[in-house]
Amino acid sequence: MDTTRDAAPHLTDDELATLRSTAVDEVRRNPPTIGVIGVSGVGKSSTVNTLLGAALPTSDTVACTKEFWSGDSART
């Protein structure tokens, strides 16, 4: 199911392609900053690893992320 098509039924295929291209270009030029905040040991690093394919350290026994982490999440 094409949810973009459902959300913008008034756009032609060409307009939709232009909109997608413009949005992708904008995100590449100005990537968003996303913060994940929560109580220690609840799975924030595991969530980031899963969503972005990152490799933040995790532990089943103790909280282990001690500092802020920044990275490029370039996904295709």
Gyration radius of the chain's alpha carbons: 18
Q: What is the pLDDT of residue 71?
A: 67
Of all residues in the chain, the percent with pLDDT exceeding 90 is 21
Residue ranges of domains in the chain: 1-32, 34-70
Coil, strand or helix: which one is 34?
coil
Q: What is the pLDDT of residue 52?
A: 80
The residue behind tokens 């990152």 is 54
What's the whole-model pTM score? 0.47
Q: What is the pLDDT of residues 63-73, one digit of tens each?
A: 666 666 666 66
Read off the tokens for 24: 């992708």
Coil, strand or helix: which one is 3?
helix
The residue behind tokens 């590449």 is 28
Q: What is the pLDDT of residue 69?
A: 63
The answer to whether 44 touches 65, Cβ cutoff 8 Å, is yes
Block mean pLDDT (10 aa), the chain, length 76: 70 91 94 84 83 76 64 60
